[in-house]
Structure 1
Amino acid sequence: MAGAPTGGAETFFVSLVTAFAAAGIEQRTVIRRNPKRAAILRDSGVPVREAAFARWFDFGTRSVLRREVVDFDPDIALAFMNRAADRMPDGRHLKLARLGGFYDLKYYRRCDHLICISHGIRNHVIANGWPAGRAHYIGNFAEAGDAPAADRAAYDTPTDAPLVFTPGRLHTAKAMDILLKAIAQLDGVYLWIAGDGPDKVELIKLANELGVAPRVRFLGWQVATAPFFRAADVVAFPSRHEPFGTVSLEAWAYGKPLVCSDADGPAELVRPEQDALVVPRNDVDALAHDLWRVIEDKALAARLVTAGSQRHADEFTREICVQNYLALFDRLR
């Protein structure tokens, strides 16, 4: 995998590799240099090699990948992210790539099959010329961590205040600005944001301009989000652009009511008014309205939680996801 220091795809890569390890699948990984990520993978019993995955003249990474293929002789190679797919080494193995977005297929020409995390992404690759028989759908999974709820007092948040939580990169695609503006309409409601990214300074400035800074906590990037999910009353997911949306699964796994936008991934995934409330992208008023609906209407919140928890148990557990991958691997071998 070639990935950034933080991000949703990078987090899911670690989750999937460790899930494969727990299922007894023998594997090796090659990742962009990241000591923390490498340590987590090694702790799960998975051998790790680190490489540059540089943009230009990256002969070193190709050499590392070729050596791993010769030494390990895998049945299947699975690439995460564009550069990993573009550097897919030759060999007798099946060459697969997982697509977590609407990517340019020029990076995937060395791959035999694509695993798309949404039906929308699968439709996209087929529309752009990829053979339908070599494009497959397997969604992500989410698990609820064991950690207890964060102590609200440690984050200067009243125990009786409504608390909205959202995890995600501080990037325009995630629409944190829309969420801040919605919170400005909701007196007494607190917001915790777990994430980092290029828009951090602007978002902090916006929170101050809106007068909501005293009720907003920028938590930074959090590897372990369980304490924050557990402490929250509502999970908000306001993205402008979202190919899948694992946050939806996490809200369901933690038993929290979900209010999300109609971005591509959530729009495909959730069932409006059944397991989530769905608002138009960039609509501050609609987001504020539905957050308040969930806060005020405990019966509605309970219905959303019950339905979401059932969806998670039926479709999006770790065990189900791993079995879906293994079934595909068996079909393709």
Structure 2
Amino acid sequence: MTHVRIVHRGYFPARAGAEAMAQNLAESLARRGHRVGLYCSSMDEESARWMTGAGVGVGVLPASAPPAERPDLVHAFDCVWPDYPQAALRLAREWDVPLVFTPASAAGVWQDREAVLDVARQADAVFVLTEAERRLFLEAGVDPAALHLNGQGPQLSATAAPDGAAFRARHGIDGPMVLFLGRKMRSKGYHLLLQAARKVWADHPEARFVFAGPDWDEDCAEVFAAHRDPRILDLGMVEEDEKADALAACDVFCLPSTVDIFPLVFVEAWVNGKPVVSVTFDGGDEVVRHGVDGLLCEPDPDAVAASVVRLLADPAEAAALGAAGRTRTERELSWDAVTDRYQTVYDRLTARTAGPAGTP
């Protein structure tokens, strides 16, 4: 049994993909009998409730390493803000245990690039989500032997089976439905999809565009007001059951994000057998296999609209792409498969630091 201490700041009140990765890994490890604890922001009450319910001990990040809580290793998730990865490195050194680091965020949103790279260079293992991300860290001087490729599994914690028909009935949707799910910020591309909607309506006037997720940019309300139309539905933040129903209800999932590494919501769409429309980003062709489980296009409204129109016009192709995504997820991106890859590295690191009797 391995004692793992996960460190993640959280995005309270929103829930981001990196947070879901940390939470799902913790839960998966706990199910396997490992001892898992989380240090998170004192503000992030939602994370604390979710993790405690999964059997994971939750605490506020301490100023120094408590001797009584010494784990076998520390695992830091996310690097938008460098303070928590830096704190994870400090704790690992004070406890004299290995540090594992999953950056999980594109370099374009890092608040302090050099601080992130410094943690990566000192980590005993760095998990990347794509080969493109691996190249970034290699070029920054991270030891090639410390870099490991892993994907991420879906975050689907609804309390009931997804009901797409019920979602459509609740919201009066009886035609094609395009879904955006995520924080509404320009780097996620919600504005591109809003601009694309009118071009889609030229071919599919009955199409509905549903947006779910918190407003992140300060001018979100103004942007939506400029595109006001009864065929656009903005749900704001939704509970997990509503999210699951929306994924089951949609015909096409579209997140035209330009600064992600491996959007978690793509995996969630594939679990539901839905095709994904994405714009090009660094490593995007590794994540979305164009013409296999989704479509990749340039980050402009015309290109986004053309991809959506293509799938709405050809339900058979849309179904085939979604089915390929589901098969890929079941084979490569389940949480069991993802946890297996993490655990292999954990075992190697803890074996290296264990004493003759198997204790640190």
TM-score by length of 1: 0.88
1:195 aligns with 2:202: no
- Answer yes or no: is the 8 Å Cα contact 1:143–1:317 preserved in 2: no
CA 1:211–1:28 in structure 2 vs 1: closer, same or farther (change >3 Å)?
closer
1:43 aligns with 2:53: yes
- Answer yes or no: is the 8 Å Cα contact 1:273–1:304 preserved in 2: yes
Tell me the SS of whatever aligns to 1:238.
coil
Gaps of 5+ in 1: 52-60
Task: Out of 78-87 and 122-131, give the one that drifted further.
Answer: 78-87
Task: Out of 95-104 and 268-277, give the one that drifted further.
Answer: 95-104
Which whole-Å CA distance do the structure 1 matches of 2:31 and 2:180 have between them? 29
1:29 aligns with 2:30: no
- Answer yes or no: is the 8 Å Cα contact 2:104–2:128 preserved in 1: yes
Tell me the SS of whatever aligns to 1:170.
coil
Aligned length: 315
- 2:26 maps to amino acid: V
- Answer yes or no: is the 8 Å Cα contact 2:20–2:155 preserved in 1: no
Q: How far off is 1:143 after superposition?
A: 5.2
- Answer yes or no: is the 8 Å Cα contact 2:153–2:338 preserved in 1: yes
- The equivalent of 1:97 in structure 2 is 101
- The equivalent of 1:87 in structure 2 is 87
Alignment of 1:1-333 (within 5 A): 1-5=8-12, 6=14, 7-33=16-42, 34-51=44-61, 61-63=62-64, 66-67=65-66, 70-81=67-78, 82-88=82-88, 89=91, 90-101=94-105, 102=107, 103=110, 104-107=113-116, 108=119, 110-142=122-154, 144=156, 145=158, 146-149=161-164, 150-155=166-171, 157-158=172-173, 160-185=174-199, 186=201, 187-199=205-217, 202-212=219-229, 214-224=230-240, 225-281=243-299, 283-333=300-350
Query: How big is each residue's C-alpha offset from its partner over 1:208-227, in whole Å with a ceiling of 9 and x where there is no partner?
Result: 32343x12222222351211
Q: How far off is 1:163 after superposition?
A: 0.8
Q: How far off is 1:169 after superposition?
A: 1.0
Tell me the SS of whatever aligns to 1:97.
strand
Task: Out of 245-254 and 173-182, give the one that drifted further.
Answer: 245-254
CA 1:248–1:266 in structure 2 vs 1: closer, same or farther (change >3 Å)?
farther
Q: How far off is 1:154 after superposition?
A: 2.5
Which whole-Å CA distance do the structure 2 matches of 1:207 and 1:3 have between them? 27
Q: How far off is 1:132 after superposition?
A: 0.9
Tell me the SS of whatever aligns to 1:133.
helix
Instruction: Report % sequence identity.
Output: 26
- Answer yes or no: is the 8 Å Cα contact 1:245–1:265 preserved in 2: no
Which whole-Å CA distance do the structure 2 matches of 1:15 and 1:222 have between them? 19
- Answer yes or no: is the 8 Å Cα contact 1:78–1:96 preserved in 2: yes
RMSD (CA atoms): 1.9
CA 1:311–1:162 in structure 2 vs 1: closer, same or farther (change >3 Å)?
same
Query: How big is each residue's C-alpha offset from its partner over 1:157-194, in whole Å with a ceiling of 9 and x where there is no partner?
Result: 32x21111111111111011100011122222111111
TM-score by length of 2: 0.82
- 1:206 maps to amino acid: V
Which whole-Å CA distance do the structure 2 matches of 1:189 and 1:267 have between them? 27
Q: How far off is 1:105 after superposition?
A: 4.6
Query: How big is each residue's C-alpha offset from its partner over 1:254-301, in whole Å with a ceiling of 9 and x where there is no partner?
Result: 1112111112243221211111111111x2111111111111211111
